[in-house]
Structure 1
Amino acid sequence: MEYLGYFASIIIGLSLGLVGGGGSILTIPILVYLFKIDPELATSYSLFIVGITAASGCVSHYRMGNLQIKSALYFAIPSIFSILIIREVIFPQIAETLFSIASYKVSKSFLIMVVFSVLMIIASISMIRKKTITIQGSKTNYAQLAIIGFFIGIITGFLGAGGGFLIIPALLFFARLPMKQAVGTSLLIIFINSSIGFAGDLYIGTPIDYSFLLIISSIAFVGMLIGTQISKRIDGSQLKPIFGWFILIMGLYIITKEIFLK
């Protein structure tokens, strides 16, 4: 299973490089089911892996002129506050066992995976749906961008997910960015959010296996390079439905496994 996990790690970077999102959605299932890592610790690992992979993608997109720094900061700064509140204040206070139904115990790990599977299903639907986005006007709405950033930070904080599938539409509608700039800027936001979240986990003493993280991140980095090069020749929106169906199947599998196959 570990060898399959290493191979699957390429898809994390490939997804981020091609469509600017989906990488973190794949990271948690890979860590939990293929590497048998506890879901709570997996959220910390996901922040590191997705963050460092997104950073490498930022460099490529910067060279292509796809980064809008001002929009990224207006989005990311409110996200930082919500991420730190969730991970350093609220998350540690959640009991390991939430409640029991007869002999069945509902744990924090169960909650993380079920909420994550629902997020995967929502993300997959947004990726599968084929629609043309028409944007009126060209003025960036920084206030709305900041508000959305705060709420997406909650998702990042609780699940260790970058939220690229939510960030990109926000950048399209409220920052008025073209698709390729939205993809590049989303990677910068994901990098900032993930780095701050992981740094917060280090501060509270989360145990980290750095050698493992570096191996997975290196493999994901290769996938990112491949995905970024392919994105120069192929419109990432053409590949989104394929990733979407894959994520939908994984989301349905996770929710089925956690509820019925425990």
Structure 2
Amino acid sequence: MATAVLSALIGLGVGAVVGALGAGGGILTVPVLVYLLGFQPYPATTASLVIVGATALAALVTHARAGHVRWARGLAFGALAGVWTFLSSHLAEAVDPALLMSLLALLLAVVAVLMLRQARRPQGRRRGSSTRPAGSRPTAPAGGGADRAGGAPVRRVLLLVAAAAGTGLLTGFFGVGGGFAVVPVLVLVLGLPMQTAVGTSMVVLVINAGTGLAARGPSLAALDWPPVLAFAAASMVGSVVGARLARRMSPAALTTAFAVLLALVAVWTAVQAVPDLV
């Protein structure tokens, strides 16, 4: 009972992060399940997909009502990533748990640096910004249907396929839903404004979580379900609050908050996991 209550309290906070930033569910859930709730790493990655999928679904409804979801791009990205998520879902079983968590910490640190650099760019140079130099060609408004992906349609398709494959592999391996990779890809590669990237990422998270769980079907029966369900239910409530909060924050503030979150979780995970490797 005490574990379920603790899971619910943590879930509220995790859900708020997911709703506001479009990520943080899996990257927070996996370390929490392992280091605070006593799960082993592989079952924790499976449980996190349950939690992230439910949380993203709740947040998706709120973001869709606000008009912050690109359904076509989200569904295309999710479908492509889902194939690789399914294929890579059992790779983590063969990896030492401490090494798995250490690799996760390294990945989070790299993404945090990339997103922090994006947040510190001048507003006029940030992808997806409506600010442009005098005399330049007008671009579609932020959140419109003509966001630039940095080149011709063929290049855009190639970038989408490559990014989706990489995201799917990471999602299947780490079991974290993929938001930590999807949001940077949507912002840095496809050029979506941060709020639109957050909303669109929920589509991808739902697809990735469902695909990952389908591949891990036999392991679902062995989960400790009471804390997982309490975590998921509370996280769904928190995600709605976080999604509404995101509407009141600037893209730069959201990007910075995302980068800081990733950096903190990377340090915490490394401190816990790296000593076990030596």
Counting only pairs closer than 5 Å after superposition, residues 75-154 of structure 1 correspond to structure 2 as 75-88=77-90, 90-92=91-93, 94=94, 108-129=96-117, 130-132=119-121, 133-134=126-127, 138-139=147-148, 141-154=156-169
Give the 3 Å change call, closer, same or farther, for CA 54–250 of structure 1 in structure 2.
same
- Measured in 1, the distance between the counterparts of 2:50 and 2:208 equals 10
Q: C-alpha displacement at 1:215, in angstroms?
A: 0.7
For normalisation by structure 2, the TM-score amounts to: 0.79
- Measured in 2, the distance between the counterparts of 1:245 and 1:34 equals 21
Match of 1:195 in 2: 210
- Measured in 1, the distance between the counterparts of 2:260 and 2:243 equals 21
Match of 1:14 in 2: 16
- Measured in 1, the distance between the counterparts of 2:59 and 2:168 equals 20
Which stretches in structure 2 are left out of the alignment for 5+ residues? Answer: 129-138, 140-145, 150-155
Match of 1:52 in 2: 54
- Measured in 1, the distance between the counterparts of 2:165 and 2:221 equals 24
Of the three residues 152, 173, 186, the one matched with 1:171 is 186
Provide the alpha-carbon RMSD of the alignment: 2.5
Give the 3 Å change call, closer, same or farther, for CA 83–36 of structure 1 in structure 2.
same
Which stretches in structure 1 are left out of the alignment for 5+ residues? Answer: 95-106
CA contact (8 A) 2:7 2:230 kept: no
- Measured in 1, the distance between the counterparts of 2:271 and 2:231 equals 27
- Measured in 2, the distance between the counterparts of 1:170 and 1:249 equals 20
One-letter code aligned to 1:108: D
For normalisation by structure 1, the TM-score amounts to: 0.83
**1:235 paired to 2:250:** yes
CA contact (8 A) 1:74 1:142 kept: no
- Measured in 1, the distance between the counterparts of 2:65 and 2:231 equals 25
- Measured in 1, the distance between the counterparts of 2:25 and 2:99 equals 21
